[in-house]
Each structure stands twice: as C-alpha cells, then as structure tokens.
C-alpha cells in the first residue's frame, strides 16, 4: 500500500497549481495524482470509481463552474477521503459555507500555505497509521 497521500488538485491558475504541487510533493508525503481546471472535469474525475484519492484540494473560482459544485460532489466520499479548500476568499462566510458542505479545512492562499502543508503531513501520518 502506498503511504503517500494521493492528492487531487482543483485549481485553474497554472502558476499557482504548479507551485502548489511542487511545494506539496517536496515538503509532504504527497503524490499529486491529477488536477482539474473546471468544475465538470473535477466532478467527473473525483466521482469515477477507478480513481483513488485521499485528499482533494479545491479552489472556489474556476474557469468553468465553481469549487462549491466540486464540494457538493464530494459529500458522498469515503470517511477516509479529505477535502480542503484553498482560496483567496477564505472569509468567515465562505468558511461557513464550506463547513456546510463537509469540508475538512479551509486555507487562505495568501497566508495559510504553511497550515495546508501541516495538514497534509498529518493526513499522511494518519494514512500510514491506518490498518
């Protein structure tokens, strides 16, 4: 069993996505297994039974659709699968709406990347500790 956190990234900004993937793969036990730039693509990939993932990182504003639609699609995920939001708009209202969708955490792109890294490290440890 792979002890690396299988992570799917939903982010339409190429620069942010590449930097995020590089940071996560370098600093955490994370393997990025795919990405999407649109709601439709993300929903299709995340809901496909053959795709195995432990963590989805979702931006709220996408080229098509919304990250909120992606979050709604993830409501029926396995209890071991985690979903977090990484957004420039991590306001109290957005955090509340994300909580309503069952999101495990919300991180602000501008000042909470270290907290996201810590979250990924903790999730990877939990994955390795599970039977």
What tens digit of pLDDT does each residue of 60-75 get? Answer: 999 999 999 999 999 9
CA distance to 15, 80, 95, 120, per residue, from 125 (Å):
28, 13, 25, 9
> What is the predicted pLDDT for the residue at 65?
97
Distance between CA atoms of 1 and 20, rounded to whole angstroms? Answer: 25
Residue 78, both tokens: 């396995």
Per-residue pLDDT tens digits for 85-110 = 999 999 999 999 999 999 999 999 99
Q: For strands 82-87 and 105-108, give the pairing.
A: parallel
pTM of the model: 0.95
Cα distance between residue 37 and residue 61, in whole Å: 10
């Amino acid at each position: 069993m792979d002890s690396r956190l299988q992570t799917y990234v939903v982010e339409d900004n190429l620069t942010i996505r590449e930097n995020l993937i590089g940071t996560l793969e370098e600093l955490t036990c994370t393997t990025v297994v795919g990405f999407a730039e649109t709601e439709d693509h993300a929903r299709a990939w995340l809901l496909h039974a053959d795709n195995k993932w432990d963590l989805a990182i979702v931006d709220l504003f996408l080229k098509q659709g919304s990250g909120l639609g992606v979050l709604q699609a993830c409501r029926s995920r396995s209890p071991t699968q985690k979903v977090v939001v990484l957004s420039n708009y991590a306001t109290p209202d957005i955090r509340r709406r994300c909580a309503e969708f069952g999101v495990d955490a919300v991180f602000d792109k501008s000042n909470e990347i270290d907290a996201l890294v810590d979250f990924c490290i903790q999730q990877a440890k939990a994955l390795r500790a599970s039977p």
